[in-house]
Homo-oligomer: A and B are copies of this chain.
């Protein structure tokens, strides 16, 4: 048996879940979608394939190497590597048909030919939200993005017992203003930002020595170390510890730093005042910089206390000139993303998520012989209509022993089996077996529905 002509294993780095696992992932995806949608984000569905000239208008060398690129006819095509570049193209193309501020979500697969490793996939789902407008957009939309992501992750955390999480927030204008003031730019700035980005992942010692090596100025190095202590003080706002105040008088002459601090203050204050969320979920952290060029204001990352090894599970920030390769309009915006495949596929594969969403089948209808088939189909249809899509009601037609059928019911995880025999057909009844207790009772279909009503609460 099983002499295979072709290897049927899924491609290396690609995800393929078993049906029981897929139920978990799909419900996780649905929680995210429902949350984004409820918060007033609307979805778009752009093609997986884009013209290469569209994708590579902005992308750098490393991304380009990872892209699945090919020709078909005369067309130079590529599979999208993120959802942001297609979004920029979409906004540019449909500008006149969109209402701004435009709030969109997009939960879809993206493709990167990375070296496969646990939690890094070549095809994976991103779950993005963005708000864009022309020329200007209130910093309050940064609050909208972060609070929507926080509420979404909170729902996921509850459903998947992820435990506590923290969103670490900064503002790129603070560092950009700081480096401008001290005439640090180009490769040196890039190297310093790069080591700031690494700060949480390396030892304090390694950090200070790497920083010294790159800054080459003990005074500036000292100021950088002091800036990390910038924090939000209730009733005061974002400030540096008083002992450093004399070091930072120059901020008064630095509009960019001042604006960055003001924006960060607005964002943190608004987030901390949200009654529905614990205040300590939102933390000021100047080591959050998120790469070199793209972000121009608010930046944030999200960490699970229970799974620090995942790194940031949700990140994003404020940007300018989203569409500058496609249009001369200045489209600015703020956005964020939850890496749902990267976070949840490893948890599902390691069986760390409990299934609250039922088995492959919730109610299994079991006609006992051919004379009961018609009745059984009617009963199944009636249960489906009654349950309004909340539970999975299947039916099987097998000439096998009752014990075999019970084994099947157990394997698919059925909560109830509805037995339709010739007596049930004659008396217009059904026999309902509770698979957990093992008890069974014969009753009218309307009385059976009262039993199934319980499933609505469990599976909702």
Q: Which residues of A (1-58) have their CB < 8 Å from a CB of B?
A: 1-11, 14-19, 22-23, 25-26, 34-35, 37-51, 53-54, 57
In the complex, the answer to whether A328 meets B3 with C-beta atoms within 8 Å is yes
Interface residues on A, range: 35 or more
Closest-by-CB residue of B relative to A275 is B378
Q: A-B pairs with the 4 shortest C-beta distances? A: A40-B394, A70-B70, A140-B397, A8-B93
- Apart from A1-B328, A17-B45, A274-B381, list 9 A-B contacts with CB within 8 A: A5-B325, A6-B54, A6-B326, A35-B389, A40-B394, A48-B48, A68-B77, A99-B360, A144-B377
Q: Smallest Cβ distance from A394 to chain B, in angstroms?
A: 2
Chain A residues near B (Cβ < 8 Å)? 1-11, 14-19, 22-23, 25-26, 34-35, 37-51, 53-54, 57, 68-73, 75, 77, 79, 89-90, 92-95, 97-99, 101-104, 109, 111, 113, 123, 138, 140-141, 143-144, 147, 151, 270, 273-276, 325-329, 360-361, 364, 373-374, 377-378, 380-382, 384-385, 387, 389, 391-399, 408, 411-412
Copies of chain A in the complex: 2
Neighbouring B residues of A35 by C-beta, 8 Å: 389
Q: How far is the CA of A93 from the CA of B17 in the complex (A)?
A: 12
Neighbouring B residues of A411 by C-beta, 8 Å: 99
In the complex, the answer to whether B48 meets A22 with C-beta atoms within 8 Å is no
Neighbouring B residues of A37 by C-beta, 8 Å: 389, 392
Closest-by-CB residue of B relative to A410 is B99
In the complex, the answer to whether A387 meets B38 with C-beta atoms within 8 Å is yes
